[in-house]
Amino acid sequence: MEEPKGDHMLKRRDFLRKCGHAATLLPGAAASGALPEAPDPRLYHEPARDVPIEEPVDVVVCGAGPAGVSAAIAAGRMGAKVRLIDVNGCLGGIWTAGLLCWILDAQDKPGLMRELTERLDARGALFRATKLAYDPEVMKLLLEELCLDAGVKIRLHTRVVAAVRDDSNRLSLAVTESKSGRQAFGGSVFVDATGDGDLAALAGCGFDMGRPETGEVQPLSMIVLLTGVTREGIGPFVCGLPESESHAKAKKRLFDEMARAGIEPSYAHPSIFHIRDDFYCMMANHEYGVLATDADALTQATIRARAEVHSLVNHLKALGGPWKDMQLVASPEHIGIREGRRIHGRYTITAQDLIRGATHEDAVCKVRFPIDVHSTDPRQNRAIMDESVRAKPYDIPFRALLARDIDGLLLAGRCISGDFIAHSSYRVTGNAVPMGEAAGVAAALASKQRRLPQTLDWPTIAESIATLPQS
Ligand SMILES: Cc1cc2nc3c(=O)[nH]c(=O)nc-3n(C[C@H](O)[C@H](O)[C@H](O)COP(=O)(O)OP(=O)(O)OC[C@H]3O[C@@H](n4cnc5c(N)ncnc54)[C@H](O)[C@@H]3O)c2cc1C
């Protein structure tokens, strides 16, 4: 039997309301008797709501990895009121939640980078035997203490999910989701140190990701902590120890040892690094073709990677000998992400800058780390790609930290403005720290002087960095 039209309209409206689609009914539609256009069943129309705005501060730093904590500490030491927001349950990003354990390109970096290594050293948590290995657990505590000493208001377990700009194209709010619900954080100046450039992208800034020709990105990697083995037993397999002779030889021996155990790692240059005593970290996993902005792909990669690293350890253990008591102590809370969005800035660092060893008057720091592109195509190679480009030491200019498409936003860490090749070099944490420091100081100065960061002159920022007090 055919339903009378009026009932049908009621039921349909009821259904739409239950689904949250009530707002899609056009006011004139019911009166004219015409059926409203059917909503797309794959879309949920979110009703507007009021979001509480937390007490505004001078500087809001989103993301608390090496770049973000440095920005927050520096801005706090400049006397600014600072909020630091991170989705993880600890500060440090890849240093801690990612179990990196290894700082690259920190040599000759003054300021906060030197202070951090000295403080880790004083706590017996820095190991210079090979390069700069550190204890990630001590790092977690140290970063919290330094932020608190600098007066930084830390907010963990909180994800930035939206951004609001005002009528003058200035970033005015970072909107978050957490156990406390949806909240908005206002400030005079913002720093995006989320690694993936989430805040800038949410605010509508332009960005690039991956290779310009194909969009292919470098693989993710899961780093793990190992114990139960001794230097006497596995020294020749460990990168950086004299008995292994070279990184290349150590990696080749480990790859062959894994083959002897009947397993081939997804990263063809598997590496073990010594941290302290019988405490090691291993990087032997590559997850290819995963975008940092795809939560489903990230989830699948994390599950695959964890299964692989456990399997690699179990295979090595089964060989007996020096491996027999090896234990995987911890896998990271977050799989390591080499690259996400590269936000458009007021200067873009390019491969040409690396080739000519570019110098700049507004140099934040000198990068000495080479071009290091992990394979974007496992059919070609499952290790490092030869990009046929060699880098000379080059400067990161402050302009690469200034977002191009919105005012009041600075960038720090791996999301600054650069091309695919340049990013593969400047991304390491010895550079993320001075970038954060410069962004934090500039944000504090801009807030204090009620100016936009791009109107500050670099000598003033540089002088403030050089005279920044330690806690
Ligand atoms: C496998 C691997 C090995 C590496 N090896 C080395 C090495 O040996 N030495 C070295 O120095 N560097 C190494 N790097 C490179 C280096 O670790 C990164 O480039 C570095 O993480 C840059 O620091 P960052 O602060 O920009 O980003 P991250 O460390 O990624 O920090 C970003 C922070 O932002 C937070 N965040 C992200 N999105 C949001 C959001 N929406 N809301 C709130 N918080 C958010 C994250 O939780 C994280 O804490 C390696 C990287 C990887 C992946």
Q: What is the pLDDT of residue 134?
A: 95
- Identify which of 84, 161, 194 to mutate to test ligand 1's pocket (most ligand atoms within 8 A of the CB): 194
Secondary structure class of 409 (helix, strand, coil): strand
Which has the closest alpha carbon to 436: 93, 120, 81? 93
From CA 126, how far away is CA 106, in angstroms rounded? 13
* Residue-level pLDDT at 177: 98
Name the CATH code of domain 57-213+341-466 (choices 1.20.1260.10, 3.40.50.620, 1.10.357.10, 3.50.50.60): 3.50.50.60
Backbone φ, ψ for residue 275 (5° rounding): -105, -60
Give start and end residues of each alpha helix (H) in 405-454: 420-426, 429-449
CA atoms of 237 and 241, how far apart (whole Å): 9
Q: List all residues whose CB is within 6 A of at least one atom of ligand 1.
A: 62-68, 85-88, 93-94, 100, 102-104, 159-160, 193-196, 198, 221, 223, 283, 336-338, 413-414, 427-430, 432
- 185 CA distance to ligand 1 middle (Å): 23
Q: Give the strand pairing for 327-330 and 342-343.
A: unpaired
286 and 375 Cβ atoms separated by less than 8 Å: yes
| 372, 104 Cβ separation under 8 angstroms | no
Q: Residue 169 CB: number of other CB atoms within 10 A?
A: 12
Q: Which atom of ligand 1 is nearest to the CA of 413?
A: 26
- Which of 95, 100, 266 is the pocket-test mutation for ligand 1 (most atoms within 8 Å of CB)? 100
Using a 10 angstrom Cβ sphere, with 0-12 exposed, 13-18 middle and 19 or more buried, the burial of residue 190 is buried
The sign of the dihedral angle between the CA atoms of 223, 212, 426, 249 is positive
pTM of the model: 0.93
Substitution site in 60, 69, 84, 94 for ligand 1 pocket (most atoms within 8 Å of beta carbon):
94
pLDDT value of residue 36: 75
Per-residue pLDDT of the chain (471 residues; tens, 9 = 90+): 333 333 333 344 443 343 333 333 334 444 566 777 888 999 999 999 999 999 999 999 999 999 999 999 999 999 999 999 999 999 999 999 999 999 999 988 999 999 999 999 999 999 876 668 999 999 999 999 999 999 999 999 999 999 999 999 999 999 999 999 999 999 999 999 999 999 999 999 999 999 999 999 999 999 999 999 999 999 999 998 999 999 999 999 999 999 999 999 999 999 999 998 899 999 999 999 999 999 999 999 999 999 999 999 999 999 999 999 999 999 999 999 999 999 999 999 999 999 999 999 999 999 999 999 999 999 999 999 999 889 999 999 999 999 999 999 999 999 999 999 999 999 999 999 999 999 999 999 999 999 999 999 999 999 999 999 887
Kindly give the distance from the C-alpha atom of residue 361 to the centroid of ligand 1, in angstroms, as a whole number: 27
Give the whole-angstrom CA distance, residue 197 versus residue 344: 10
Which amino acid belongs to residue 355?
I
The DSSP bridge pattern shows strands 153-155 and 394-397 to be: unpaired
Q: What is the 8-class DSSP label of residue 363?
A: E
Residue nearest to atom 4 of ligand 1 (CA): 100
- Give the distance (Å) from ligand 1 centre to CA of residue 25: 45
Question: Which residue's alpha carbon is nearest to atom 37 within ligand 1?
Answer: 194
- For the chain, which residues make up each domain, given as ranges? 57-213+341-466, 223-330
Element (H, E) at 62: strand 57-62
Q: Angle formed by the axes of helices 112-122 and 66-77, to 10°?
A: 100
Query: What's the 16 CA to ligand 1 centre distance in angstroms?
Result: 43
CA distance 143 to 123: 13
Residue 359's pLDDT is what?
98
Q: What 3-state class would DSSP assign to 346?
A: coil
Question: Which residue owns the Cα nearest ligand 1 atom 15?
Answer: 428
Distance from Cα 65 to the centre of ligand 1, integer Å: 6
Q: Token digits for 120? A: 């880790």
Cα(57)–Cα(80) distance, integer angstroms = 8
CA–CA distance from 26 to each of 20, 33, 35 (Å)?
A: 14, 11, 10
- Contacts of residues 46-54 at CB distance under 8 Å and 24 or more positions apart, as own/partner, are 46/20, 47/20, 47/23, 49/182, 51/175, 51/182, 51/183, 51/184, 52/183, 52/184, 53/173, 53/183, 53/184, 53/185, 53/186, 54/83, 54/183, 54/184, 54/185, 54/186
DSSP secondary structure of 136-169: HHHHHHHHHHHHHHTT-EEE-S-EEEEEEE-TTS
Q: How far apart are CA 406 and CA 167, in angstroms?
A: 11
Per-position b or e across 407-444, b if 16+ CB within 10 A of its CB = bbbbbbbbbbbbbbbbbbbbbbbbbbbbbbbbbbbbbb
